Amino acid sequence: MSLERISSNTVLPSMRSEFTLKTADGQTLVAELALPAHSEPVATLICLHPLPTHGGFMDSHVLRKAANRLPYLANIAVLRFNTRGTESPQGKSSGDFDEGHLERLDLEAAVDFAVGKKMPNRWLLGWSFGTELALKYGWNQDVTGAILLSPPLHRTSQAELERWNHVDKRVVALIPEFDSYLTPQQAAPAFAIMSKYEQIDVADAKHLWVGEPYVHRVLDEVVRLVSPNAYPLPTQIDSHIVVRD
C-alpha cells in the first residue's frame, strides 16, 4: 500500500448527485448531496455557506473539502447548496440575496429535503454568514444541533440565541484565535446567554481557516461530534483510493 498525505485537492470516493431544492416562496436552489459510496451514512451535514456578497458559496473551501472527504472517511452525508441569488461553479440559485431574512426559507428547504430522505443524525454546519442562518432559524428545525465555524454574530440577536435554551439541541462553535470578527475572548461572553453552548478555541487559526492544518482540525472536530467512531481522521490515505489529487 502506497500512502500519500491528504491535501487541499484530495477527493475520495463518494456517490454525488446534483439537484435543486424548492423553497416555500418558489425559489430554486442549486444543491449537491455527497453520500458514502459503500455504506449507509451515520450522520448528515447540512452546510450553510459564508456571505455570498463577499465570495461565499456552496463550494467555499472548507465545505467543499468536507464533501470531498467525509463520506469516505467518516460515513457522513454532506448536503451543500447555494442560498438564493448565490452563484458558484455548480450554478446559480434563483432569487436575490436578502441579508439573512428570506434565507430562512432556504435553510428550511434543505432541512425538509434531508428529513424527507430520512437522512440520519442531521446537523447544521454553518460558516461565518452561515452560522447566522443556523442560529437564527435552526432552533426549531428537525436537526440534532448546529456546528458553527467562525460565527461573527452580526445578524443574530441575544433573544434569538436564548431560544436555543428551550430545545434539546447542541450548539458547538469553533472559534479561531485570530478571528477578524469574534475572538475566543469575545465569543464566550457573547454566547453566555446560551446554557448549552460549547466553545472550541483553535490556536493560530483565522476566520477563513486557510491552510490544511486548520481544515483538518475543523473536519476532525466535526467528525468527533457527529461520527465519533471515525475520530480522529487520518492525515494520509492509500493513493489507490484517491479519485483526484
Q: Is residue 62 assigned to a domain?
A: yes
| pTM above threshold 0.85 | yes
Taking all residues of the chain, what is their mean pLDDT, rounded to a whole number? 97
In-domain check, residue 244? no
Q: Are 164 and 196 spatial neighbours (Cβ–Cβ below 8 Å)?
A: yes
pLDDT for 190: 98
pLDDT at 168: 98
β 122-127/145-149 pair status:
parallel
Under DSSP, is residue 201 helix (H, G, I), strand (E, B) or coil?
Answer: strand
pLDDT tens for each residue of 47-105: 999 999 999 999 999 999 999 999 999 999 999 999 999 999 999 999 999 999 999 99
CA 232 – CA 191 distance, rounded (Å): 28
Q: Please, which pLDDT band fits residue 245 given cuts at 50, 70 and 90? A: very low
pLDDT at 244 (0 to 100): 59
pLDDT value of position 1: 78
Q: What's 68's domain CATH number?
A: 3.40.50.1820
* Contact assessment for residue 122 and residue 142, using Cβ atoms and an 8 Å cutoff: yes
| Proportion of the chain above pLDDT 90, given as a percent | 99
Q: What is the mean pLDDT of residues 214-223?
A: 98
Q: Is residue 243 part of a domain?
A: no
Q: How many domains does the chain have?
A: 1
CB 126: neighbour CB atoms within 10 A? 27
Report yes or no on 159 lying in a domain: yes
Question: Which residue range is the domain that position 151 belongs to?
Answer: 3-238
For 113-161, give the DSSP string: HHHHTT-SSEEEEEETHHHHHHHHHSTTSSSSEEEEES---SS--HHHH
Is 88 part of a structural domain of the chain?
yes
| Residue 245 covered by a domain | no
Is residue 144 assigned to a domain? Answer: yes
Amino acid letter, residue 213: P
Q: Is residue 71 part of a domain?
A: yes
Q: Give the pLDDT confidence of 132-158 residue by residue, as tens digits.
A: 999 999 999 999 999 999 999 999 999
